[in-house]
Each structure stands twice: as structure tokens, then as C-alpha cells.
Amino acid sequence: MDVLMPQLGETVAEGKITQWFKSAGDAVKPGDNLFEIETDKVSMEVPSTTAGVLAEIRVPAGEVAPVGAVVAVIADGTAASAPPAAETLSKPAPSSAPASRSAPLAASAAAAQPAAAAPVKLDPFFEVRTPQRNYGPARLAGGRSATPLARRLAAEGGIDLAAVSPSGPHGRIVARDVEAAARAAPKAVQRPSAAAGVALATGPSAEEVKALYRDVPFQEVPLDGMRRIIAARLVQAKQTIPHFYLTADVEIGRLISLREDANAAAPKDSDGKPAFKLSLNDLIIKAWAAALQRVPAANAVWAQDRILRFQHSDVAVAVAIDGGLITPVIRRVEAKTLSAISNEMKELAARARARKLTPDEYQGGSSTISNLGMYGVREFSAIINPPQATVLAVGAARRQAVEKEDGGVAFASVLSVTLSCDHRVVDGALGAELLAAFQRFVERPVTMLV
């Protein structure tokens, strides 16, 4: 039995094997963990679905393989050996497999099923088709083909695959070919992006940048999968989304009082541990969800030829992790209590830092909150995470002199928030209405609880 690199989410095209729990020759049974993989967002352990002997490990720890690649072979019996590579390469892809993304080994086999009737050989660079995303044709003119990662990089970077020289097996274009083409002749291979209709800039090559600092000591840090994806997506977002920004100062004195009263009244267990401990961010999440409900036209995302508007407020929250960030999503925030939001956020953040989130927990969301207030940042503008149309950037709270209604002056607790909007979905007046609704809920927090 071939063990395949599983599919973890619609946009994941490859995974890195960080460790093997079994060695070649070890007996395995269903449920035994075989290896641990790491993608640009999560890490997870992959169990065996069959009993036998781990006859061969084809992708050692530390190496990256595309989704659907054969990473190991499990043979029946205790004396079985690994089948020759040629036999594995000629084995047809399975005709069917469960469609659920929660069964990683079976899902990768299903993704490998070709659209054509002719049998397709399974090898480490075979085609994987996912209906959720389309990065251009898998088969190119002249009978050539490109791996899923190569097609994605070409689509996101505006690279014409017809001008790329292949170096993969059987004349396939792999990711390194796209990257090399962009470095060698960016103007010759650059084409309009299918998503935006404009060319995406590639910037100077690594060698050109290093040449500027040849007399300066430096350390080269290779990009891992997460940093590559972050770089590609944010460049694409900034170049293809027409951003505009709205900033407001919000008084949070009543919000702070509500948090203190709620924490003081939290029930305690037999050990004296409170059932919850609200943070200021928990209340901001609740207020933002209420604002999205109050202004439903802004609770929407961009879908190329249409806008999708949502009934519920699914709020993504940016969480810093080692090497990057991830945005776990709290679903239906408008219907949840503050204590439920607080406990769920803490649990999601902990598993995000351990890279244990499932794709369903970080994909989607109708809007995002990015809070840098804990770092002392007073004000900043965040880049929209497509296909979302809004992101709220929250700064640090501060004491500030404000004018009272009677003309006097008093000090108040204030924080600055900046709303980034996609002008294709949210116009200026609509964005201002959304930010004003958020301000009202924060300054009168009891209104978001009724």
C-alpha cells in the first residue's frame, strides 16, 4: 500500500515531513502514527490506515513533498519488502475515495484521480486537482504539465507557464522552475494575473540584492513554506485589492469596567479557579461581530464576479506564531456569550501556536481583527486577507484628555482603530457606518449584550 502526502485544506499544495515515528522494517497497525507533517499553517500526525510492515520510506524527515506524492510503502506480512520504484510509478490512481477532508490519506487518493480516462502514473509530481481553486490548466501545449505548487506560484506571481523550462520528471514544470524563470527574466515571462488583470511585480532577484551588501556581513535565512505563502499572498493582496483606510478614536472606559465586573463575578470551581477571565480583546471581538450584524452589507467578501454576504459574524483573529501568523476563526460570534468567546479564543490561540489547527478552523471568516495593542503600538493599518473585504487594526489603550459635554476637560481611556476596506465591496460611507457602529457598541457595551 502506498502512503500518500495528505491534503490539508483547499489551498495547501505541499507538506514538509518533520519526523517519522516508524522506521523501515517496523510493523504497523491501523491507528499507529507514521509521520508528522508541517504545512504553511499547521502540523499534524498522520496515522496508518492498514496493518503491515513499513517497507520503504521515500521522503525522509526534513524534506518537502507535494500533496498526493508517495512518501512511504506499507507491505503485507512481516517479511515483505518494498516494491520496486518502477512498479509504484505504474500503479493507476484509485478510482474513488471518501470526499471528506477529515480523512487525509483517503482524501489525497481521491484528489489524485485524473479527469482524463487514460490511466495516470503515480509519481512524486503527479497532478492533483482540487475543484475549490483553479490556477490554470494542468496540461500545457506540447503535452507538458505543471505540478499544483508550480501552477499556484505562476498564478500568484503572474508567470506564463508557456515560457518556463521544465526540470521535473517526464517534462513537468515544478516550483523551482517557476522561481528560476521569475529571477532570470521576469519581464519576459510575466503576464497579467488572472485574478486581477494586472501584472504582479517580482522585484530584484536574490543575487541582485546580495550584490548590494557584498561588503556587509549577513546571514542568509531560507524561506520556509509559511513565509513563502505569507509573502506571496500579501503581495497579491496589496497589488490586487483597492485598499482604503478609516481611523477612529474610541473611548473604552465602560468596556474596561464591564470586563472588571464580569471577571470579578466569574464563578469558581472547587480549586478556586475562575470559569473564565475576559480580556479586552474578547470584548472587541464581540463588539466587532455586533457591528457586522448592524451593518450587514459590510459583512461580505469578494468573489470575483459577485459579492457574498453572510448571515452570521464569523470573526477571524490574527495570532502570532513562530515564523509568521495565522487567523483562527470564531464562528457565529454574535450568538455567543463573552465567556464562551474568551474560552474559545484561548483554546484556538494555544492550538494555533502549536500548529494543531484543522483547516476548517482557520479558513473562511467574514472579517479579521488584528490587535497589536499589547506591543504598545498606538495605530497601524493592516493588509486585507483575501477574499475578505475588511480587517480591523486595534492599537494600544492610552489615557488622553477629552472635552466633556459641558465644555470641561477630563481624562479618558482611548484606543485608536483603523479599518482597512476593499473598495470593490465596501464604499467609503459603508465603511464609515461600520466603524461608527463598532464605536457605539464599545462606548456603550451593554447594547451589544441585549
What's the grid cell of residue 367? 472579517
Strands 64-66 and 14-20: antiparallel
d(CA 440, CA 442): 5
Closest CA to 5 of 152, 136, 108, 150: 108
Look-up of cell digits 496515522: 47
Question: What does the alpha-carbon distance between residue 72 and residue 84 come to, in Å, rounded to a whole number?
Answer: 12
| CA-to-CA separations, 448 to 64, 256, 262, 393, 418, in angstroms, rounded | 47, 15, 15, 20, 21
Q: Please give the grid coordinates belonging to residue 445.
A: 457595551
Alpha carbon 187 to chain centroid distance?
29
Please, is 264 exposed, middle or buried when counting C-beta atoms within 10 Å of its C-beta (0-12, 13-18, 19+)?
exposed
| Residue 58 to residue 290: CA distance in whole angstroms | 51
| Phi-psi category of residue 158: left, alpha or beta, with phi > 0 → left and psi -120 to 50 → alpha | left
- Please report, as a single letter, which amino acid is at residue 86: A
DSSP structure class, residue 159: B
Of the candidates 170, 243, 312, 423, the residue annotated as catalytic is: 423
Ordered strands of the 43-47 beta sheet = 43-47, 33-38, 14-20, 64-66
Record the cell numbers describing residue 332, joined without a space. Answer: 457565529
Neighbours of 230 (CB within 10 A): 17
Residue pair 135/32 in contact (Cβ under 8 Å)? The answer is no
Element (H, E) at 258: helix 253-264
Closest CA to 194 of 151, 135, 145: 135
C-alpha cell at 151: 501552477
- Give the type of residue at 325: L
The closest alpha carbon to 60, from 19, 3, 108, 104, belongs to 19
Quick check: 259 and 283 in contact, CB under 8 A? Answer: yes
423 is catalytic: yes
Q: Are 434 and 290 in contact (CB under 8 A)?
A: no
Active site residues: 423
